[in-house]
Amino acid sequence: MSKNARPDHEERMERARLSLTGLSVGDAFGEQFFFREAWAVGPEFRQIPPSPWRFTDDTVMAIGLMAVLEACEEVEQDELADAFATRYQRDPGRGYGATAHTILRQICLGTPWRQASAAAFRGEGSMGNGSAMRVGPLGAYFADDLDKVASQARLSAEVTHLNAEGIAIAVAAAWAWRWNASGRSEPASALFKTVLSLVPRSSTWRGIELASVTPLDTWEFEAAESLGDGSNVTCPDTVPYCLWTAARHLDDYREALWTAVKVGGDIDTNAAIVGGIVSLAVGVPGIPAEWIRAREPLW
């Protein structure tokens, strides 16, 4: 697709940039708590980490996806693989997981991305949460067409994750924007119904189904115990709790982020995913300005 073929391309990119802001602030915020005691993030403390907040591979890969959307207005997988590999080669010390290191190094060395992605986990492909952590801006870009969100999210995931279980996050991000644009006429918990209708049956789908029947006033540690907190760095272990947290605090970015980080696990990714969704419901004014300033510059 030629650049700027869509008459509303800039409007779509503005939504994507909003999600990237929420994602990157969440990522950088969450990263600060990896080396802090868990009690330090309890509601009675709320200790804001000193700035600057360095972001991780979650944000770097989201920026790569944004670059492809800007240039191609949809997911072109060869372009996306190149964007991921180029940014990885520029700064491989951003917290990439072991499988991501392997896949991206292979792409940098000239291995076709299809071969590199398919080789993970003895040919089954990775179902790590990397496909979920970066995809919020894509959901924002295609928010007017949920079927398109799902198909484009699958294309995005396949470049590094043959098991494309991160689709749910793109759908949730799109739903959050639509929820806000429609005047918030539905309860936030309705997010699960839309996600479940568009995500293929899988272990992640089953986790989301469990999240959908977990009351939103459940103690977050209890919810994380049953839904997962990202400790296994897989979509089934990460996505359900993140969706539950986003639904619980869809109108409150600050509370959503505190809830995302306080249970531990894959803290930066949990916060990135939740931040990318909730930002689309609250807009830039809903993201604490001091948190945006604390995050290192994106460009």
Write down all domains in the chain, each with its CATH number in brackets: 9-76+129-294 (1.10.4080.10)
Instruction: Please report how many Cα atoms fall inside a 13 Å half-sphere around the Cα of residue 263, on the Cβ side.
Output: 26
Q: Is 10 exposed, middle or buried (0-12, 13-18, 19+ CB in 10 A)?
A: exposed
Phi, psi of 53 (to 5 degrees): -100, 115
Tokens of 184: 């918030």
Closest CA to 160 of 107, 92, 237: 107
- DSSP one-letter string for 26-91: HHHHHHTTTTS-GGGGSTTT--PPPSPBPP-HHHHHHHHHHHHHHHHSS--HHHHHHHHHHHHHH-
Residues 272, 15: Cα–Cα separation, whole Å:
16
Angle between helices 9-31 and 267-282 in degrees, nearest 10: 140
Q: What Cα–Cα distance (Å) separates residue 297 from each residue in 57, 78, 134, 199?
A: 14, 27, 17, 34
Run of H or E residues at 109: none
Q: What Cα–Cα distance (Å) separates residue 130 from each residue in 133, 193, 232?
A: 5, 23, 12
- DSSP letter at 252? -
| pTM, rounded to two decimals | 0.94
pLDDT of residue 1: 47
Q: Which amino acid is at 100?
A: A
pLDDT of residue 43: 47
Question: Diameter of the chain by CA atoms?
Answer: 52
pLDDT of residue 98: 87
Run of H or E residues at 150: helix 146-158
Residues 169, 274: Cα–Cα separation, whole Å:
9
Answer yes or no: are the C-beta atoms of 150 and 140 closer than 8 Å: no
Instruction: Please report how many Cα atoms fall inside a 13 Å half-sphere around the Cα of residue 108, on the Cβ side.
Output: 15
Note if the bond before 187 is cis, omega within 30 degrees: no
Show the low-confidence residues of the chain (pLDDT under 50): 1-2, 38-39, 43, 125
